[in-house]
Structure 1
Amino acid sequence: MTAPSRPAAPDQPAAPGSPASPLAGRTVVVTRPRDQAAVLAAGIEALGGAALILPALEIGPVDDDGALRAAAARLADFRLAAFVSPNAVHHAWTALGPAVAALGGWPQDLTAAAVGESTAQALRDLGVPRVLVPRDRFDSEGLLAMTELWHVAGWKVVIFRGDGGRELLADTLRTRGAAVEHVACYTRRGPADGGRALAEALAAGQIDALTISSSEGLRHLHDLLPADQRRHLAALPTFVPHQRIAETASALGHSSVILTPPADNGLLEGLCGYNWPQGC
């Protein structure tokens, strides 16, 4: 594949059919949670495409935030606070924000860590002055590979995440001698409509490509769809911003999985650079 062209800025839409509108005539599904889908949808439309927002996951606050409030009250006791996603930052901040304000700012001896740049930027936007973030691989493995986290014996660590989730970060830090606790600060559930809108769009042949930013979300979609629609879904060009999601898509039978650079900009680059079939 040739190097993808740079996407047009969302506020400068290309004329349909022009060389700068590589998605002209294409409908691309955006499966991010609804309140996080606007940037990617706008980018697709700026490139001449149509964005169909069909969230694979619904994100919401936890029913009981007692553990979150308790961790916030002890924030200065921790040596490391890790956030697994922008959702973790935003939902944790309902309790952390007042705690940080009461402390006069983010504790000087508390290292904030993020698994990726979007999560790190969410922390910076809230005034966290220094954020540890991987430089290459944007996941728990990338964070654990950083030299700053090799020697954590005796550290108290708190990990802010959704309900459930991977145990790799906590388990590895424990083997390195840290005392680790999880705090669930948001929930992840399947789409509220049970996948009906996606099934209808697939049946009508209205979709040209799929963007996926969560392995869990993709599994939700497969679980919700009837067998014939799962086959239609798996036949679509599937754009994913992480190797682990690509592996999940392949395991679920997706025949054309395109691994893109990270985040929304990466997905847009992948969509721009794809060798779209003619006449469809």
Structure 2
Amino acid sequence: MGRLLQGRRILVTRPRAQAARLAALIAGEGGEPLCFPLIEIEPPLDAAPLRGVAARLAQYVLVVFISPNAVAFAIPEIAAQGPWPEATQAAAIGPGTVSALVSHGFDSDRIVVPAQRFDSEALLDQPALQSARVVGKKVLILRGDGGRELLVDTLRQRGADVDCIACYRRTPPSDASEIVSLLRNKALDAVTLSSSEGLRNLLAMLDTEACAQLRCLPVFVSHQRIEQAAIAAGWREIVVTPPGDAGIVESLCRYKWLQHE
């Protein structure tokens, strides 16, 4: 086990249910993960639409799970209606969502997922989502409230009959005093961000002084879209990491800490 992050205090901002593995990998390298979810995941205010669609799942040729949270909230409702329909294919944005599906008994080899870049654009490149496969067919997208419309809009342009169900809610945290205290005591060395929404939530909670202190820290982001949001927010140093928790920790370990002290 390495100690390349010895003494480094890293802010982990993933939602609570997805933070444990990243925190463990940071700790395994000697770092101190400080978990502060920038998005809280909660059940939908009305579960009736999800229950309704679960009862008619066999109508869909493809069901897209946008995140592990979509799996966590949707699969119990689906399982309560009976087994997964044999002719309905599952799709996932990335490996975390695949792992969540596998934990519920899905065969990973039968899940449509991008091979490298894990976003809506990459999923739309997969053969199962092309016009020839979806035109005139029903496709279901399971996601949180809000979010990007690219997947929905593109599939509809390709001729699919798309239903989109919000199976969980994302809400911002209500108190940032812990982060303010860490910043004022110079007790943070880096920030990890896994969504542009989380970045917006973070900056909205902080006062001008705390925002300025935060922007002096290196931020490690998992996608170029988050990088663009960080640039627009005035961040000084941004590191785009390889995908997944392992990619984030790899970049943290390669960072030249002593050159920035």
**TM-score of Structure 1 vs Structure 2, range by shorter chain:** over 0.9
Determine if the alignment matches structure 1 residue 259 to structure 2 residue 244.
Answer: no
Whether the 8 Å contact between 2:183 and 2:214 is mirrored in structure 1 is yes
2:136 to 149, 154, 160: 154
- 1 or 2, which has the higher helix percentage? 2
- Report how many residues are paired: 257
Equivalent residue, structure 2, for 1:109:
87
Equivalent residue, structure 2, for 1:11:
none
Q: Which amino acid aligns with 2:118?
A: F
For residues 198 and 137 of structure 2, the distance between their equivalents in structure 1, rounded to whole angstroms, comes to 33
For residues 69 and 54 of structure 1, the distance between their equivalents in structure 2, rounded to whole angstroms, comes to 32
Equivalent residue, structure 1, for 2:20:
38
For residues 174 and 87 of structure 2, the distance between their equivalents in structure 1, rounded to whole angstroms, comes to 42
Determine if the alignment matches structure 1 residue 132 to structure 2 residue 96.
Answer: no
For residues 39 and 66 of structure 1, the distance between their equivalents in structure 2, rounded to whole angstroms, comes to 32
State the Cα deviation string for residues 170-226 of structure 1 (Å, max 9, x = none): 000000000111100111111142x22111111111100001111101110011111
Deviation at 1:82, TM superposition (A): 0.3
1:277 match: secondary structure: helix
State the Cα deviation string for residues 53-105 of structure 1 (Å, max 9, x = none): 11111111112101000010110111110011111111112211212xx2xx3
2:118 match: secondary structure: coil
Whether the 8 Å contact between 2:78 and 2:84 is mirrored in structure 1 is no
2:258 match: secondary structure: coil
2:191 match: secondary structure: strand
For residues 220 and 259 of structure 2, the distance between their equivalents in structure 1, rounded to whole angstroms, comes to 19
Deviation at 1:35, TM superposition (A): 2.8
State the Cα deviation string for residues 97-130 of structure 1 (Å, max 9, x = none): 212xx2xx32121111101111112112211232
Determine if the alignment matches structure 1 residue 27 to structure 2 residue 9.
Answer: yes
Q: Which amino acid aligns with 2:221?
A: V
1:127 match: secondary structure: coil
Whether the 8 Å contact between 1:106 and 1:128 is mirrored in structure 2 is no
Query: How large is the RMSD of aligned CA atoms in angstroms?
Result: 1.3
For residues 169 and 153 of structure 1, the distance between their equivalents in structure 2, rounded to whole angstroms, comes to 15
Deviation at 1:279, TM superposition (A): 8.7
Equivalent residue, structure 2, for 1:52:
34
**Unpaired segments of 5 or more residues in structure 2?**
none
Deviation at 1:278, TM superposition (A): 5.4
**Unpaired segments of 5 or more residues in structure 1?**
1-7, 9-19
Equivalent residue, structure 1, for 2:210:
229
Q: Residues 44 and 92 of structure 1: is their aligned pair in 2 closer, same or farther, counting only changes over 3 Å?
A: same
TM-score, with normalisation over the residues of structure 1?
0.88
For residues 116 and 237 of structure 1, the distance between their equivalents in structure 2, rounded to whole angstroms, comes to 25
Equivalent residue, structure 1, for 2:62:
80
TM-score, with normalisation over the residues of structure 2?
0.95
Deviation at 1:22, TM superposition (A): 1.2
Whether the 8 Å contact between 1:79 and 1:156 is mirrored in structure 2 is yes
Q: Residues 278 and 175 of structure 1: is their aligned pair in 2 closer, same or farther, counting only changes over 3 Å?
A: closer
Identical amino acids, percent of aligned pairs? 48
1:176 to 150, 154, 158: 158
For residues 258 and 248 of structure 2, the distance between their equivalents in structure 1, rounded to whole angstroms, comes to 18
Structure 1 segments of 4+ aligned residues over 4 angstroms from their partners? none
Q: Which amino acid aligns with 1:138?
A: F
Equivalent residue, structure 2, for 1:274:
255
Determine if the alignment matches structure 1 residue 141 to structure 2 residue 121.
Answer: yes
